[in-house]
Chains A and B, each alone.
Chain A
Amino acid sequence: MKPSESPGCPGIRRYGAYIPPTRLGLGAMGGRKASEGGPEKAVAWNDEDTLTLAVAAGRSCLLGFDRSRVDALIFASTTSPFQEKQAAALIARALDLPRDVRGTDLGGTLRAGTTAFAIAADAVKAGSSRNVLVIASDCRMGAPGSALEANLGDGAAAFLISDEEVLAEIEGHHSISDEIVDVWRSGGDAFSHSWEDRFVIQEGYTPRIREAVDAMLNKLEISPDEIARYALYAPDKRSHAQISRALGLDPAKVQDPLFGRLGNTGVAFAPMQLAAALEDAEPGERIVVASYGDGAETLSLKVTPGAAAFAPPRGLSWHLARRRSVEQYDHYLQARGLTPREWSPAEGPGLSATIHFRERDDDISFRGQSCKACGALQFPAQRVCESCFARDAFEPECLSDRIGRVVTYTFDYFFPSPDPPTVVCVVDIGGARVHLQVTDCPPEDVKIGMEVEFSFRRIHEAGGRPNYFWKGIPRG
């Protein structure tokens, strides 16, 4: 179909979210013992970062979808591991998206996630893109002991914006840009900072959100009683309650902001709230999304009758239920690189960029090959078949969505880790044997024959750069 022949309204075609399984009890900060069942937040562990969360959310969104049809990727985050180097290009490779995908990184502000929606919707409406993957992901840190540290959590959400098979139409959006120094992070600083919260709420957050919501509803000629659900960003629990009151919202219509379970996920906050709303929404319902950061941004979506046809394989409630507690606050500090170490992988000479370049299909896309002569699957790509010795006769095969089986294992106490040992396995994937780490799995659970799925993870920081490969995780 040519773009001019697709007059449908752009909207969400598929979506998925991801929450890292590790939880830091707020009581554990400052060395106290966390009470089981007390407030906590989701934290990316040492093999996770904004990019790995983004890839996980993207895979959840695209599971079962023909990836060759994705023609644009917008990655929104304030915590890309790179200041210079496009994250979208790496994510596209990990998701095995086509080479001619248009990659964009959006950052700088916490409302970049909703901005990505608006740009994607406009691109689809204009006919320049057909299926735009929007991923919002953040892993922000507050300084140890700060109020921000207790509030911030890590997470990601992904949405495929299209004008086909739309689950929720994007009816419109409104954006306000405003200059205010309320929350910021300067170059080279690991931690976000905030001015006094009363100032932020009174002069920034509350009036800007209200202004953007009102302006959008006026523009779209929608009255508040036509809105079924609100997916609202908020810096913390108190300001979330205040904005609901200021807007005069029925609490039953407002999504649970998940403070005390997930935390403020920054750029991903409002998109994750939207994902949660979509999981429960009925056809015909209208959802208003509002995000904040150097101004405010709002979206209005209307759930279509087609919504029932799609549900993400693992919803937010599945991710919230999958949790393991950090035993010591010190482990968290180590996992996030906040404690000095005698031996730092970042001090090594680093890996050859040319090796990284040659191995990018193996390492980032997890692409193996099957032999055209004997059919044997193998990893990594190699010139001569491991089984029948045929030369240069292979078809590439992406292994990331396959299921593996543990052949043997060891627990490595030498591998640098905040909480050793590291589980290392040889895994059989359809006949291919791959030596890799297994993560999100306590050693006592590892068994020969255990089934694993695969997760894109940060494997080490040699050369001061993040380096990525796939790890096994117990089959969910």
Chain B
Amino acid sequence: MATDSIANKAAVVGVGCCKFGENWDKSPSDMIVDAAYEAYADAGIEKPQEEIEAVFTGSLYSMAGPHECSDALKLFDIPVTMVSNYCATGTEALRCAVMSVASGLYDTVLVVGYDKPKDRGVSGPSVMLDGVRSLPKTPAGWFSLCAATYFEKYGAGREDLARIAVKNHHNGTLAPNSFLKREITIEEALAGRMISWPFGLYDCAAQTDGAAAAVIMRADLAQARRDDAVLIKGVTIKSGPNPQKDPDNDFLSWKPTAWAAQEVYAMAGITDPTSQIDVAQLHDCFTLTELLSYEDLGFCEKGSAPEHIRSGRFELGGELPVNTDGGLKAFGHPTGATGVRMVYENVLQLQGRAEGRQVKGATTALSHNIGGHPTVCGIAILGLP
């Protein structure tokens, strides 16, 4: 096991995020340019063709990411790499950028996460078939498999999930670039049409188009560029077994989250996440995924999430606000962009730029992606120096 760590070797000096939504009138190129040029401006980069040394782009739906990105931004004669790791694609792109800077290969690199699912003519994920026996693939059908077991063991129910949707819808109204800006009630959330029990429409993330970008710089150079550069204190990706055939799965948590948390907390020197993390962006592809993540990340004891949800602990103004910009539920979920969008929100929070949704005095922020069946988790911890 290598002893050197990528912790604290790279920093975010600029972030950008286009408006997420059903961007009928925008191409992937339009969204990439919007996000990257906002990040350039934030980082004080005036000549990206001279300053950006490499690009790490992440997309789940595009087969042409490297060229789509380099052509949109006219970044040539440098390496442009696309990564794909299910819904953790954005965090994976960030991790690759951090590794490249930490290794000493580059000083300044660009991370671009994006996806354009709304060009496919379907609402929500399409029903896909990729093998004879594979059921048509609906993520709701995979992520709901923890519900019957969790409900039975801990006495939770659909109303606990609905409270998460209500919170994230509220937070979404406060974020300028979010897709959904509408408050909902618990009753509305419970009355939505059923997708895959117990997930109704309001338990499911809004699939949207979108792009987000971040300029990553060697930590010492970043401090010289701006005194509020945000350090990447830890970032990791962990694979996990397919939970549907894992013989030991208890369907009360998603294993990769706990594994990734253990490693990233060690990297970032976090020994008590409940007191050391001030704000978190969690992967609420479905309400239950956010609930399980509270527990798998150590924000509360296994089985206790419903009582913490009811206490308002994860709401804005609570002890540990989660998904301050509305999350996947309300901000939108363009798969490859999501992890980078979370970095965008956490940087705004740490720099005190989150306006009406600002978490006061936040110094450490966590972002979390989980994807696949789920079979992968990515976590990044950002902090002020």
Closest to A355 in B: B131
Q: Is A378 an interface residue (CB 8 A)?
A: yes
Q: Is B138 an interface residue (CB 8 A)?
A: yes
User: Contact between B140 and A412 (Cβ–Cβ < 8 Å)?
Assistant: yes
> CB within 8 Å of A: which of B94-124?
124
How far apart sit A426 and B149, CA to CA, in the bound complex (Å)? 11
Nearest-neighbour CB distance to chain B for A430, whole angstroms, equals 10
Q: Which of A5-13, A132-140, A414-422 contacts B (4 or more CB under 8 A)?
A: A414-422
Nearest-neighbour CB distance to chain B for A344, whole angstroms, equals 11
User: Contact between A359 and B133 (Cβ–Cβ < 8 Å)?
Assistant: yes
User: Contact between A414 and B144 (Cβ–Cβ < 8 Å)?
Assistant: no
Q: Is B221 an interface residue (CB 8 A)?
A: no
User: Contact between B244 and A433 (Cβ–Cβ < 8 Å)?
Assistant: yes
Q: Is B247 an interface residue (CB 8 A)?
A: yes
Inter-chain contacts of B194 with A (CB < 8 A): 411, 413, 421
Selected from B127, B132, B136, B145, the residue in CB contact (under 8 A) with A408 is B145
Selected from B135, B147, B149, B246, the residue in CB contact (under 8 A) with A386 is B246
User: Contact between A412 and B247 (Cβ–Cβ < 8 Å)?
Assistant: no
Q: Is A394 an interface residue (CB 8 A)?
A: no
Closest to B147 in A: A410
Nearest-neighbour CB distance to chain A for B197, whole angstroms, equals 4
Inter-chain contacts of B245 with A (CB < 8 A): 378-379, 386, 432-435
Proximity string of chain B (240-261) to chain A, C-beta cutoff 8 Å, 1 when within and 0 when not = 0100111101010000000000
How far apart sit A411 and B197, CA to CA, in the bound complex (Å)? 5
Inter-chain contacts of B124 with A (CB < 8 A): 414
How far apart sit A23 and B194, CA to CA, in the bound complex (Å)? 27
Closest to B144 in A: A410
Selected from A345, A363, A376, A409, the residue in CB contact (under 8 A) with B132 is A363
User: Contact between B247 and A433 (Cβ–Cβ < 8 Å)?
Assistant: yes
How far apart sit A432 and B245, CA to CA, in the bound complex (Å)? 7
User: Contact between B136 and A416 (Cβ–Cβ < 8 Å)?
Assistant: yes
Proximity string of chain A (84-110) to chain B, C-beta cutoff 8 Å, 1 when within and 0 when not = 000000000000000000000000000
How far apart sit A363 and B246, CA to CA, in the bound complex (Å)? 19
Q: How many residues of B contact A (CB 8 A)?
A: 30
Q: Is A177 an interface residue (CB 8 A)?
A: no
User: Contact between A408 and B148 (Cβ–Cβ < 8 Å)?
Assistant: yes
Selected from A351, A409, A468, the residue in CB contact (under 8 A) with B131 is A351
Nearest-neighbour CB distance to chain B for A252, whole angstroms, equals 49
Q: Is B152 an interface residue (CB 8 A)?
A: yes
User: Contact between A414 and B129 (Cβ–Cβ < 8 Å)?
Assistant: no
User: Contact between A408 and B251 (Cβ–Cβ < 8 Å)?
Assistant: yes
Q: Is B81 an interface residue (CB 8 A)?
A: no
User: Contact between B148 and A359 (Cβ–Cβ < 8 Å)?
Assistant: no
How far apart sit A434 and B249, CA to CA, in the bound complex (Å)? 12
Q: Is A40 an interface residue (CB 8 A)?
A: no
Nearest-neighbour CB distance to chain B for A290, whole angstroms, equals 41
How far apart sit A469 and B127, CA to CA, in the bound complex (Å)? 18
Given contacts A408-B148, A413-B195, A448-B149, contact A386 B247 (CB under 8 A): yes
Closest to B242 in A: A435
Closest to B252 in A: A408
Inter-chain contacts of B251 with A (CB < 8 A): 407-408, 426
Proximity string of chain B (366-382) to chain A, C-beta cutoff 8 Å, 1 when within and 0 when not = 00000000000000000
Q: Is B196 an interface residue (CB 8 A)?
A: yes
How far apart sit A66 and B133, CA to CA, in the bound complex (Å)? 27
How far apart sit A409 and B244, CA to CA, in the bound complex (Å)? 11
Inter-chain contacts of A348 with B (CB < 8 A): 129
How far apart sit A426 and B148, CA to CA, in the bound complex (Å)? 11
How far apart sit A433 and B251, CA to CA, in the bound complex (Å)? 12
Given contacts A424-B141, A431-B247, contact A411 B196 (CB under 8 A): yes
Proximity string of chain A (379-408) to chain B, C-beta cutoff 8 Å, 1 when within and 0 when not = 110000011000000000000000000011
Closest to A360 in B: B132
Q: Is B146 an interface residue (CB 8 A)?
A: yes
User: Contact between B135 and A435 (Cβ–Cβ < 8 Å)?
Assistant: yes
Nearest-neighbour CB distance to chain A for B146, whole angstroms, equals 7
Q: Is A437 an interface residue (CB 8 A)?
A: yes
How far apart sit A50 and B270, CA to CA, in the bound complex (Å)? 61
Nearest-neighbour CB distance to chain B for A402, whole angstroms, equals 15
User: Contact between B141 and A415 (Cβ–Cβ < 8 Å)?
Assistant: yes
User: Contact between B138 and A415 (Cβ–Cβ < 8 Å)?
Assistant: yes
Given contacts A386-B245, A411-B196, A433-B244, contact A462 B127 (CB under 8 A): no
Selected from A378, A410, A421, A462, the residue in CB contact (under 8 A) with B145 is A410
Nearest-neighbour CB distance to chain A for B117, whole angstroms, equals 16
User: Contact between B127 and A378 (Cβ–Cβ < 8 Å)?
Assistant: no
User: Contact between B145 and A386 (Cβ–Cβ < 8 Å)?
Assistant: no
Q: Is A362 an interface residue (CB 8 A)?
A: yes
How far apart sit A416 and B128, CA to CA, in the bound complex (Å)? 12
Inter-chain contacts of B246 with A (CB < 8 A): 386, 433
> Which of B193, B247, B251 is the most central at the interface, judged by chain A CB atoms within 10 Å of its CB?
B247
> Which of A414, A421, A432, A467 is the most central at the interface, judged by chain B CB atoms within 10 Å of its CB?
A414
Closest to A469 in B: B133
Q: Is A460 an interface residue (CB 8 A)?
A: yes
> CB within 8 Å of B: which of A318-377?
343, 345, 348, 351, 355-356, 359, 362-363, 376
Closest to B122 in A: A343
User: Contact between A414 and B136 (Cβ–Cβ < 8 Å)?
Assistant: yes
User: Contact between B135 and A378 (Cβ–Cβ < 8 Å)?
Assistant: no
Inter-chain contacts of A343 with B (CB < 8 A): 127
User: Contact between B129 and A386 (Cβ–Cβ < 8 Å)?
Assistant: no
Nearest-neighbour CB distance to chain A for B339, whole angstroms, equals 25
Inter-chain contacts of A362 with B (CB < 8 A): 133
Inter-chain contacts of A359 with B (CB < 8 A): 131-133
Closest to B244 in A: A435
Q: Is A311 an interface residue (CB 8 A)?
A: no
How far apart sit A443 and B135, CA to CA, in the bound complex (Å)? 18
User: Contact between A460 and B129 (Cβ–Cβ < 8 Å)?
Assistant: yes
Inter-chain contacts of A436 with B (CB < 8 A): 133, 135
Q: Is A473 an interface residue (CB 8 A)?
A: no
Inter-chain contacts of B146 with A (CB < 8 A): 408
User: Contact between B141 and A410 (Cβ–Cβ < 8 Å)?
Assistant: yes
User: Contact between B131 and A421 (Cβ–Cβ < 8 Å)?
Assistant: no
User: Contact between A426 and B244 (Cβ–Cβ < 8 Å)?
Assistant: yes
Inter-chain contacts of B145 with A (CB < 8 A): 408-410, 426
Given contacts A378-B247, A386-B246, A387-B247, contact A412 B132 (CB under 8 A): no
Nearest-neighbour CB distance to chain A for B318, whole angstroms, equals 30
Selected from B129, B152, B244, the residue in CB contact (under 8 A) with A448 is B152
How far apart sit A462 and B194, CA to CA, in the bound complex (Å)? 25
User: Contact between A467 and B132 (Cβ–Cβ < 8 Å)?
Assistant: yes
Inter-chain contacts of B127 with A (CB < 8 A): 343, 414-416
How far apart sit A167 and B292, CA to CA, in the bound complex (Å)? 60
> Which of B129, B138, B193, B241 is the most central at the interface, judged by chain A CB atoms within 10 Å of its CB?
B129
Q: Is A200 an interface residue (CB 8 A)?
A: no
> Which of A359, A433, A436 is the most central at the interface, judged by chain B CB atoms within 10 Å of its CB?
A433
Q: Is A459 an interface residue (CB 8 A)?
A: yes
Inter-chain contacts of B138 with A (CB < 8 A): 412, 414-415
Given contacts A410-B196, A411-B196, contact A356 B132 (CB under 8 A): yes
11 contacts between A and B (CB under 8 A): A386-B247, A407-B249, A408-B146, A410-B144, A410-B145, A410-B148, A413-B194, A414-B195, A415-B136, A448-B149, A448-B152
Beyond A409-B145, A469-B132, list 5 extra A-B contacts (CB 8 Å). Answer: A380-B133, A410-B197, A412-B138, A415-B138, A435-B135
Contact surface of B with A, Cβ cutoff 8 Å: 124, 127, 129, 131-133, 135-136, 138, 140-141, 144-149, 152, 193-197, 241, 244-247, 249, 251
Sorted nearest first, the 8 A-B pairs with minimum C-beta distance are A435-B244, A411-B197, A410-B144, A469-B133, A408-B251, A414-B138, A412-B141, A412-B196
